[in-house]
Structure 1
Amino acid sequence: VPEEFIIPAVWLDVIHHTGRPYHWWLFLGTQNAERMSLVVARPIEILSIIIWPIVKFFELIARGMSRLLGSRKEKHLSEEELKSIVTMGRDEGILSKDAARIMHNVLRFERKKVINIMTPKVSMHMLDGDAKLGDVLNFIIKSPYSRFPIYEENKDKIIGILDVDDILKYIKSNRLGVRIKNISRPPLFVPESKDVDDMLADFEGKKTPVAIVVDEYGYVIGLVTLEDVMEEIVGDIFDKSRKSSVYIRKESENLIRVDAKASVEEINKALHLGLEEKHFNTIAGFVEGKLQRIPKRGEEIKLKNITIIVDQVTDQSIKSVKIVRN
């Protein structure tokens, strides 16, 4: 098959068979991530239906060529073969580096579970539903987040999600005595074992693209957002749009300073470590998960070959850590 047929055929085949064709378009919304992805999801799903005949056309060509060459047994491309084709397309200049990176991310994307990308419970900023808006307003203003899980009685009983957009009218009219549970939105619950690629369908049409992650017993273990899902797809491209980029900076042979948003996976790769990735997305989540609380500056976690020291911290979250090789 001519080379110019191979890449388009694989491109369309991957788009069609992932069942989530809009994965490839999400990088367009990096400036307005949530709004853009929810707007384009339905049109691109329609596009998937439109391009289906084109996909079948390339499949028929490939099948016909296979028969002419004497092979009658159908063979589906494995993930490794697809990765090789994408890499070849990048090396030959057919695909841009960014496009190839996104395609590689999507190939890994389908194997991931929600538990692999969620923010752990210990790092969630939750509010008591019985609290009055005026009592929590200062906390909301200081928090880096715009949505807050609302609980009743205990933090395993989430009853809603408070969106900062919803509180503006109450502030303007000076109705600060309203209880926040009365102005929260219904929560979405998902199991920890849910496939990440199914989350986009769950978020589609929802006013609040936030889901509470629960374990097999129904206990809250974390939170996942549309942004978390998009970061898995567009990776570094999404990070480039941020003012404060994630970094890992080597200050000496045995001292590394790490931004709290850096993922455990990239830290392991960069520093050749074996930190647990299964239950923690970022190094901040790793530290808070091990300590089961937001730590104070200077607190340490001693591991086999390294010591993690909390470097910069606020009342709500870790900002950076230092990793010292023992």
Structure 2
Amino acid sequence: MSLDWTIIGPALTIVGLLLLSAFFSGSETSLTATSRARMLQLERDKDPAAARVNILISDGEGLLGSILLGNNLVNILASMIAGQLFETLLGGNSVVWATLVMTVLVLVFAEVMPKTYALSNPERFALAVSRPILIVVRVFAPLVGAVQFVVRNVLRLFGANVDGPVLSSHDELRGAIALHHEEGGVVKDDRDMLGGVLDLRDLTVDDIMVHRKSIVMIDADKPSEAIVTEALHSPHTRLPIYKGDTENIIGILHVRDIARALHEADGNASVIDIDALRRDAWFVPETTEVLDQLNAFREKREHFALVVDEYGALMGLVTLEDILEEIVGAIEDEHDVAVEGIQPDGDGVWLVDGDLPIRDLNRALDWELPDEEAVTIAGLVIHEAQTIPERGQVFGFHGARFEVVERRRNQITKLRVSVSPDDVVVNGS
């Protein structure tokens, strides 16, 4: 029995074209899903396949254009041959049957199956296809370049921005960290630390500074004994010293310098020259980026700076520890005064200090309250309420419920917060 090559030949050609289509589909998925960081590491380890993958994904537009061009060519050719084959076999109904059969074959064997495998094994698949795909990209480069020229100019006619990346490298890192945290690959503490590093560029010193009302200062007009006693009993190692008015900062006293002078004076604090011990104060604008301030601390080998506004008025102070706490969370030692900014007050309810930074609450409770318009929780409530609330008033916004528990003069000092399904302001009693 002789073989009918008028049927077998086209059928084998269709199978071969479907395999090529599957190759292109799987390559597209694997090369777009593979980890670029992993490929860079493999390239540093002298893996030539990884080097080819990095060349391919560095020009994502050219890669995608070449793969789509090759995929469409083989799919169209397979469909044409299938149409002729079915016309030979069935006659008049060939177009309908050829369309149905090729749709199923392309969908299952040339799209879903290879892409599913490529998603499950992106790195292995990408490394395996890197050489042939690189050849395809180079062969199709002139034609793909022409297609890209046409596409870009058509998109520009409609006002689309096709230049530059959609996401910055920082945004990509944030997205990757959030994704791995949701998948369980990054624990919350590690996510917060990594996010804290990225946030340094987006923060200014007034976002993290100690407010001026909380600064412990020393009056230069006091006797030397009183200044020494006050400094040694302070939980801080660096203390601003003022003369006449708290806005008139004349320097910084370091407890270590005082202790050394007290030792040299055999414990007689009255003979210590305070003016000789004070160091020059370092003033920085409140608009200074936290990352720039960190670099400045490193360059000047300083840990302490006073923050002023555009008029030179004292706003607060910032230390190296404040910046580090934005990365690793609160740092406390045996000399710190323990301040409970957040205390549990029942199931899903917390008592929060009004001056607690919003970023600290978000980090502690894994919330996402906005901190663009206010730095502290009290400031957020006042901003949203557009008034200074009375004690007992309740507000709901951003998916949370805020109850004013304590107020001193015009300052909210304590709030009760919880998750709220409502996002409506409620003025309670």
User: Normalising TM by the smaller chain, what interval?
Assistant: 0.5 to 0.7
TM-score (norm 1): 0.62
What SS does the aligned partner of 1:204 have?
helix
* Contact 1:263 1:281 (8 Å CA) reproduced: yes
Give the Cα–Cα distance (whole angstroms) in 2 for the partners of residues 283 and 219 of structure 1: 23
1:1-326 paired onto structure 2 within 5 Å: 1=31, 5-7=35-37, 62-70=57-65, 74-75=164-165, 77-78=167-168, 79-92=170-183, 95-172=186-263, 173=265, 174-176=267-269, 177-235=271-329, 238=331, 244=338, 246=340, 248-251=342-345, 256-258=350-352, 262-267=356-361, 280=375, 302=391, 304-305=393-394, 306-309=403-406, 322-323=414-415, 326=429
Give the Cα–Cα distance (whole angstroms) in 2 for the partners of residues 5 and 255 of structure 1: 41
Deviation, structure 1 residue 197: 1.2
* Contact 1:213 1:220 (8 Å CA) reproduced: yes
* Contact 2:391 2:407 (8 Å CA) reproduced: no
* Contact 1:190 1:212 (8 Å CA) reproduced: yes
Give the Cα–Cα distance (whole angstroms) in 2 for the partners of residues 152 and 239 of structure 1: 31
Deviations 1:56-101 (A, max 9, x none): x998664145532239865263354432212223345654543332
Bigger RCO (CA 8 Å, 6+ sep): 1
Q: Aligned in 2, Cα 1:253/1:64: closer, same or farther, shift over 3 Å? A: closer
What SS does the aligned partner of 1:104 have?
helix
Q: How many residues align?
A: 259
Give the Cα–Cα distance (whole angstroms) in 2 for the partners of residues 103 and 271 of structure 1: 14
* Contact 2:235 2:337 (8 Å CA) reproduced: no
Partner residue in 2 for 1:41? none
Give the Cα–Cα distance (whole angstroms) in 2 for the partners of residues 92 and 187 of structure 1: 48
The farther-off stretch of 64-73 and 226-235 is: 64-73
Partner residue in 1 for 2:160? none
The farther-off stretch of 108-117 and 135-144 is: 135-144
Give the Cα–Cα distance (whole angstroms) in 1 for the partners of residues 196 and 366 of structure 2: 21
Q: Aligned in 2, Cα 1:119/1:82: closer, same or farther, shift over 3 Å? A: same
Give the Cα–Cα distance (whole angstroms) in 1 for the partners of residues 178 and 368 of structure 2: 26
Give the Cα–Cα distance (whole angstroms) in 1 for the partners of residues 311 and 221 of structure 2: 26
The farther-off stretch of 148-157 and 193-202 is: 148-157
Task: Read off the aligned partner of 2:293 and give its amino acid letter.
Answer: M
What SS does the aligned partner of 2:65 have?
coil
* Contact 1:130 1:181 (8 Å CA) reproduced: no
What SS does the aligned partner of 2:202 have?
coil
What SS does the aligned partner of 1:105 have?
helix
* Contact 2:307 2:315 (8 Å CA) reproduced: yes
* Contact 1:189 1:212 (8 Å CA) reproduced: yes
Partner residue in 1 for 2:123? none
Give the Cα–Cα distance (whole angstroms) in 2 for the partners of residues 9 and 303 of structure 1: 58
Q: Please say which structure displays the higher CA radius of gyration.
A: 2
Point out where structure 1 has 5 or more consecutive residues left out of the alignment: 12-56, 287-299, 312-320
* Contact 1:132 1:179 (8 Å CA) reproduced: no
The farther-off stretch of 245-254 and 75-84 is: 245-254
RMSD of the TM alignment (CA)?
A: 4.6
Point out where structure 2 has 5 or more consecutive residues left out of the alignment: 1-30, 42-50, 67-147, 149-162, 382-388, 395-402, 417-427
Q: Aligned in 2, Cα 1:234/1:154: closer, same or farther, shift over 3 Å? A: same
Give the Cα–Cα distance (whole angstroms) in 1 for the partners of residues 316 and 234 of structure 2: 18
Higher fraction of helix: 2
Q: Aligned in 2, Cα 1:243/1:114: closer, same or farther, shift over 3 Å? A: closer
The runs of 4+ residues in structure 1 deviating greater than 6 Å are 239-243, 271-277
* Contact 1:247 1:258 (8 Å CA) reproduced: yes
